[in-house]
Structure 1
């Protein structure tokens, strides 16, 4: 269904900045906007002399490079670009401006520039979309998708098992149902905390986040299970998948597929390809939401603390926080917050003032916030509620083909964040 673009936004005014891991709020009267206009896209003009050349060697044309400054940033607004029933993932098709959007009910659709929605792959007969934590949850395109057409999905089936499956393209350029090859299948203890983000990292490996399954959190501190973990898989060998030789538990001490563990429900995570940092939004239990950040280059093996810890706080009395990797940011459930939606680091061109800033949301709070990681600490923390309003229940973030920021909402919205300049 096509939808007219919808703009929502306001000028930048007084912003609320959260103190990292403190639960306190301070007023910021001036927004973190550059006072000088940033440089926009470089424009190259070519001039060719009309004079007769003096030799048979042709000199290259002279080029003059000019830059057009962007107008000052006044604020941000959101533009609705499509409606999809239950969108939980949106990502660009390589080499195109169209998007692939995952409907949690079991369908992957294509969204064109004008908002027209068409079917890419229908898996509804294989997917069990019970409640809001199961269904078709993850989609990742192989780094060589333009050449090999390989893509991967993660979903829960009607019998409550989770499946990681590879598909290819048919002769019509759409997903081929009959090409499915199962890489991994395992039982979920309950219909909760099934997580489900799929991402290819800059290392070429496939990463998958899994929650602890919601069964009294028995799996959270057990690296021998795949649950409660971040998995790292090599899908380019002869087998359905192989374990990268540098995974932390290859020699023992945990399941070899596991790269990090100790999560409650890391249903949304992302990898910034520029600085190779992994940003993980881990949903808390009763009081605290957290965002964990770890470098891909650490080698893995970190324990992020659930069940003994919730954020930086002991969930079990007498726990030792020094045993666990601490989040870079946490926030409380005060004010109606309930569940973090992990986001992405902005690397687009339209808003260079926020290059390197990580955007995330809260399911119940209906807000979008951002921060910039500097020397392992969250800085320049910004609450965009005043500018963007209540955006609803955000289900995912992602870049479009130009690196601009997309997000989706449970009520069917697919949006892009765009700048207001003047």
Structure 2
């Protein structure tokens, strides 16, 4: 598997109240060859499931290998293109026993309406779904072809949450996001384990209120393309795509009883958009983070992510990852006990990041819509030698002018490879088939500066460090 991507040496930091520095990250290529990947999910095992917009779901094994046969192919019933297509995937919390998974797509048979459906895995092959097992759960009419939302996810309460856009066009001409009798522009919450095909949770905030649909959990959303739950705390993070000026991240605590109104179309982010007939600003819940499309970091469409809860990079614990489809940057947000803090980890041009996802261990991945690549997010080392879980024992001399030697704990039963990158993540050179625990390096064409290296043992990073050439 080709390794690499980008490193940044200096973090650009944006903060709300105070300044704080955090970890840098880079992208390691995990798998490639996908066509318009828009969602990443896991089924509680080592596999990753990649949703392609045209209507296929493919499987990547833990080694980064893509199964040649799709898990599901429903291209014949999906309208795709623009903001339409197969857009979301969620596995039932008891998938290991019932084999149920749920998808969100725009249907050919209804001319592009949103279809929430349940499918079942094959009883004889865990890598293949039964295409004829579809059960329609919910159909929602779409007046336009854009702002379909697309995401769905099970909350820690076991209920299915569905993020719906405002129905499209521009500026929400039907004022649907603020209409409590419309499902568009809402976060919905349904019970798919009871009822036919679903029931309403008794704890939904508007149950029994004839002026509001029972399915509504929250309202005032424009196009919540991606939302997720923190796997540790249960908090909900919603990335709501803006109109022409502001992109926003909304936060809902796990202690919430629902009913929040996030403001659209009255407000775009925290900024007035069309306040005609709207209640006072105090009636709305404004984002914890917003950025101007024309400012810094800039962009056109926020791509929401997940909160890191993996074990490989403890310094990233609690960081929420996000990006922008046009901006190409990757940022994290975390709470430092006083305020929300953001860190800009750099820009990767030409990817068109469309979605983030987690594997079963909580490690985070991001998909490039333009390139069809799935990248694993990893932490860049910030010291000469990281002593924890590192086979590197010494680098001498370092800094160096002509040559240096890297020594590491060698095991003849393993295969070793050395990769060296510059601070922009460009692979400078590789040494393959290392047969001893000592690597002598000449500077050759390496200009003065800082470089990062990794020693890979059977595809796993076993050693890493920093080189300084003077």
CA-CA distance at 1:417 after TM superposition? 0.6
CA-CA distance at 1:92 after TM superposition? 2.1
Measure the CA separation in 2 of the matches of 1:355 and 1:334.
30
**Matched residue SS, 2:75:** coil
Superposition misfits of 4+ residues, deviation over 6 angstroms: none
TM-score (norm 1): 0.83
- Determine which of 138, 144, 159 is the counterpart of 2:88: 138
8 A Cα contact 2:242 2:301, kept in partner: yes
Measure the CA separation in 1 of the matches of 2:58 and 2:359.
15
| Equivalent position of 1:32 in the other structure | 22
In the alignment, structure 1 residue 356 sits paired with structure 2 residue 306: no
Pick 1 or 2: higher relative contact order, CA cutoff 8 A, min separation 6.
1
- Determine which of 284, 297, 311 is the counterpart of 2:255: 297
Measure the CA separation in 2 of the matches of 1:235 and 1:5.
42
- Determine which of 378, 396, 403 is the counterpart of 1:418: 378
8 A Cα contact 1:368 1:391, kept in partner: no
Stretches of structure 1 that go unaligned for 5 or more consecutive residues are: 34-74
Aligned counterparts, 1:48-63, within 5 A = none
| 1:215-248 alpha-carbon deviations (Å, 9 max, x no partner) | 4512010121111000111111141111100001
CA-CA distance at 1:273 after TM superposition? 2.6
Measure the CA separation in 2 of the matches of 1:241 and 1:375.
40
CA-CA distance at 1:389 after TM superposition? 3.5
Stretches of structure 2 that go unaligned for 5 or more consecutive residues are: 382-464, 466-470
| Equivalent position of 1:408 in the other structure | 367
Measure the CA separation in 1 of the matches of 2:308 and 2:325.
20
**Matched residue SS, 2:315:** helix
8 A Cα contact 2:231 2:309, kept in partner: no
Measure the CA separation in 2 of the matches of 1:263 and 1:399.
24
| 1:109-156 alpha-carbon deviations (Å, 9 max, x no partner) | 11122322331010001100021x110001000011111101000100
| Equivalent position of 2:189 in the other structure | 232
Measure the CA separation in 2 of the matches of 1:207 and 1:374.
28
In the alignment, structure 1 residue 370 sits paired with structure 2 residue 332: yes
TM-score (norm 2): 0.74
- Determine which of 107, 112, 115 is the counterpart of 1:163: 115
Cα gap change, 1:374 to 1:228, in 2 (>3 Å): farther
Cα gap change, 1:12 to 1:226, in 2 (>3 Å): same
Cα gap change, 1:157 to 1:364, in 2 (>3 Å): same
| Equivalent position of 2:386 in the other structure | none
- Determine which of 283, 290, 309 is the counterpart of 1:330: 290
8 A Cα contact 1:82 1:117, kept in partner: no
CA-CA distance at 1:10 after TM superposition? 2.2
In the alignment, structure 1 residue 126 sits paired with structure 2 residue 80: no
8 A Cα contact 1:12 1:31, kept in partner: no
- Determine which of 174, 177, 181 is the counterpart of 2:135: 181
Q: How much is the aligned-residue C-alpha RMSD, in angstroms?
A: 1.9
Cα gap change, 1:296 to 1:258, in 2 (>3 Å): farther
**Matched residue SS, 1:6:** coil
